[in-house]
Amino acid sequence: MSHLNTLVLHQLRYGELGGDALLRANEHLAACETCASRLRAQESERAAFVAAPIPDAIRAIGSAPAAPARAWWRDWLPLAGALMAAASLSLVVRGVRTETVATPEVVDTVHVKGELPAVEVWVKRPEGTRPLREGEVVGVGDRIQLVYDPHGASVIALAGHDGSGGIEVYATNAPTGIGLVRAPFALTLDDTPGAQELFVIGSDRALSEQDVKEAVAGGVQGVRVGHVVLRKRSEAHR
């Protein structure tokens, strides 16, 4: 059974569906507990957000006294001084070869449907469970857990690949949602030599184990694969 994508669930909550689309969505929710549970989770998160009190810092903005008015020309004094300094500087450095430095592009942090799932690895250490640091190695017996952002995928599968050569499918219907989601299980690393790769596979349709293996091995149309490589201690010392 295919599942409703996250966008359709949002449209349903906000009353943006109508006609046949609304009828099909309601019929699917009546028959699919997975999607019904996802919709209830969205409604619960929204209700908690609405009920949350306004932070004191924001409330203080509305109650703060208005700043006294000042003459408009005072605001232009610093700018006028800067312009004069820039003009004099251009006269001094005329004839010196210059290079234009491109302004860095502003990165849009809004996730769009179709992005690769983002993947993090958390590791259990004596001081507690925490994200694996860049360059940190793992070893036999270490317990790790995947944390991922589905980026709009309505179906998530989890898989792994190690030095033995085979692709192991851990789950074909792992939890999905908005923002970071924890895998419903932890993995204990064994003594298999070679690096350990972990994969988060995102799709808008149900995935079989064969679909997951094909997506990891070479790609499947409409299926997005995010992955992370873990270096074991034996590999790091080579």
The yes-or-no verdict on residue 98 having pLDDT over 50 is no
Cβ pair 201, 216 in contact under 8 A: yes
Cα Rg of the chain, angstroms: 26
Whether residue 182 has pLDDT greater than 80 = yes
Stretch 2-27: mean pLDDT: 79
Q: How confident is the model at residue 66 (pLDDT cuts 50, 70, 90)?
A: low
pLDDT (0 to 100) of residue 1: 56
* Euclidean distance between CA atoms 91 and 213, whole angstroms: 66
Q: How confident is the model at residue 105 (pLDDT cuts 50, 70, 90)?
A: very low
Separation of alpha carbons 136 and 230, rounded Å? 8
Say what the pTM is.
0.50
Residue 101 pLDDT exceeds 60: no
C-alpha separations of 13 from 5, 57, 110, 169 in Å? 13, 30, 20, 33
- What are the tokens at 202? 């995102």
For domain 118-236, say whether CATH 2.60.40 is its number.
yes
**Contact (Cβ atoms closer than 8 angstroms) between residue 203 and residue 224:** yes
Partners of 88 in beta bridges: none
Mean pLDDT of all residues in the chain?
A: 74
**Residue 53's pLDDT is what?**
59
Question: Could you please report the per-residue DSSP string of 102-153?
Answer: PPPPPPP----TTPPPEEEEEEEETTEEEEPPTT--B-TT-EEEEEEE-TT-
User: What pLDDT, on the 0 to 100 scale, is given for residue 165?
Assistant: 80
pLDDT value at 13 more than 80: no
Type of residue at 188: T
Q: Is 126 exposed, middle or buried (0-12, 13-18, 19+ CB in 10 A)?
A: exposed
User: For the chain, which residues make up each domain, given as ranges?
Assistant: 6-51, 118-236
The string of pLDDT tens digits covering residues 19-58 is 888 888 888 888 888 778 778 877 766 665 555 555 555 5
User: What pLDDT is stored for residue 67 in this prediction?
Assistant: 57
State the Cα–Cα distance between residues 233 and 157, nearest whole angstrom: 28
Contact partners, residue 165, CB within 8 Å, separation at least 6:
none
Work out the percent of the chain whose per-residue pLDDT is above 90.
18
Q: Once rounded to an integer, what is the mean pLDDT over residues 156-179?
A: 89
